[in-house]
Amino acid sequence: MGMETETRDFLVRIVQTISLVMVWMLVNVYIGIYKDYAFFENHANWTNYLFYAFSIVTLVLLLVHLRRKWKI
């Protein structure tokens, strides 16, 4: 008694989506909070701008990837 292929593929796609989003969040939390690039001291530094640009670009790339993955 096995699982149908369509159901298995759907569940694998759900798990992969959750995993990708969690990895993206963990990387951004690590770089932003633990490495102090997300916080402004007295003024914005170039590392703050770089961190936020990195976060936005990778978020857009992640959303494009997930949209293509779920469009199939």
Q: pLDDT tens for residues 2-29?
A: 779 889 999 999 999 999 999 999 999 9
Burial class (CB in 10 A: 0-12, 13-18, 19+), 48: middle
Domain boundaries defined on the chain = 5-71
The DSSP code for 31 is I
Whole-structure pTM value: 0.86
Question: What pLDDT sits at residue 3?
Answer: 76
Write the CA distances from 55 to 8, 14, 34, 70, integer angstroms: 32, 23, 15, 22
